[in-house]
Homo-oligomer: A and B are copies of this chain.
């Protein structure tokens, strides 16, 4: 079988670097292009010192990909608007695209509300939102993929097994904490060491783009319109997300039943582990493509806590993107992961 010829946009960002690390160990990946907006010129292994890669790849301008004749797949690790600005030209190259930004995640109306990047309606049709554990059976191998957001991944994997049991318009509280690499390579003062270290702060409370992303997929999969109350935190570590999902109910929750529904849902999953007892910690998944989920029926049995942890750069971004690549190219879902 022939290797997949791959190009990467935005290779010098944290998700780009992580993607490169994963792909350089992937038996079917042949990286032939790495692009960036700055740091043009040097080889990637000069910029990313702990990369182990046999091939020497020069960092080129993203737009230089157009000079390449044969390419099968492009990963875009660009921030919002980056891929859109060159999409029409890139489309003509005929390669599949997996986009890690938020640009193609939301439907028309939500997108206009939550994102500034202007998207052409026809462009949106080229993309499908795939979170493998949830909707890989619906994958269309002729379409591009919009890769899920990091918070959204951790929350969706925690919610989906019981989505059918949710009520319409139910309020679901998610107290969620992310390592600071989630903000990307950032020169914002709030992401500086001296401000973030030895601290904990909330941001975009009740107002984070990943909330409509979760609500949208829950609706598509279960028909339930939920109301996600999302409280994100800047956690003073580099990598990892813990999402605590709280669901209230008048009728008592039954731990056994709920645990069973989770275990059944993830029975064949390579990347989701449901804990028999206890709740997971962030260390348990760092530097892996795993999601770990713990379940706790709280005293009085009226509140259910689902605690879901992932590494925001792997399962929350580049690992999941490679998982999506595997599915798109009909490879084993966990190849190279």
Cβ-based interface call for A219 (8 A): no
Cβ-defined partner of A194 (8 Å) among B14, B248, B279, B303: B14
**Residues 202-247 (chain A) with a chain B CB within 8 angstroms:** 202, 205-207, 227, 229, 231, 235-238, 240, 242, 244, 246
Q: Is the CB of B194 within 8 A of A180?
A: yes
Cβ-defined partner of A191 (8 Å) among B194, B287, B288: B194
Inter-chain CA distance A173–B185, complex, in Å, is: 34
Inter-chain CA distance A288–B49, complex, in Å, is: 11
Q: Is the CB of A200 within 8 A of B50?
A: no
In the complex, what residues of B have CB within 8 A of residue A110's CB?
A: none
In the complex, what residues of B have CB within 8 A of residue A20's CB?
A: none
Q: 1/0 per position for A86-114, CB-CB distance to B under 8 A? A: 00000000000000000000000000000
Q: Is the CB of A300 within 8 A of B171?
A: yes
Residue of A191, A227, A281 contacting most chain B CB atoms (<10 Å): A281
Cβ-defined partner of A285 (8 Å) among B50, B175, B231: B50
* Contact (A196, B198) CB under 8 Å given A49-B280, A229-B303: no
Cβ-based interface call for A298 (8 A): yes
Q: Is the CB of A238 within 8 A of B197?
A: yes
Cβ-defined partner of A201 (8 Å) among B194, B281, B296: B281
Q: Is the CB of A185 within 8 A of B177?
A: no
CB distance from A166 to the nearest CB of B (A): 15
Inter-chain CA distance A242–B202, complex, in Å, is: 10
Q: Which residue of B lies closest to A205 (CB)?
A: B296
Q: Is the CB of A284 within 8 A of B49?
A: yes
Inter-chain CA distance A246–B282, complex, in Å, is: 23
Q: Which residue of B lies closest to A307 (CB)?
A: B202
CB distance from A12 to the nearest CB of B (A): 11
Q: Is the CB of A193 within 8 A of B236?
A: yes
Cβ-defined partner of A199 (8 Å) among B175, B279, B282, B287: B282
Q: Is the CB of B240 within 8 A of A200?
A: yes
Q: Is the CB of A201 within 8 A of B49?
A: no
Q: Is the CB of A185 within 8 A of B189?
A: yes
In the complex, what residues of B have CB within 8 A of residue A288's CB?
A: 50, 52
CB distance from A307 to the nearest CB of B (A): 7
CB distance from A209 to the nearest CB of B (A): 13
Q: Is the CB of A187 within 8 A of B192?
A: yes
In the complex, what residues of B have CB within 8 A of residue A191's CB?
A: 192-194
Q: Is the CB of B229 within 8 A of A299?
A: yes
Cβ-based interface call for A320 (8 A): no
Q: Is the CB of B171 within 8 A of A200?
A: no
**Residues 279-324 (chain A) with a chain B CB within 8 angstroms:** 279-288, 290, 292, 296, 298-300, 302-303, 305, 307
Cβ-defined partner of A200 (8 Å) among B49, B231, B282, B305: B282
A-B contact pairs, 16 of them (CB 8 A): A14-B194, A171-B302, A177-B177, A180-B193, A185-B192, A186-B192, A187-B192, A191-B194, A198-B282, A201-B282, A202-B279, A202-B281, A229-B303, A231-B305, A246-B246, A248-B248
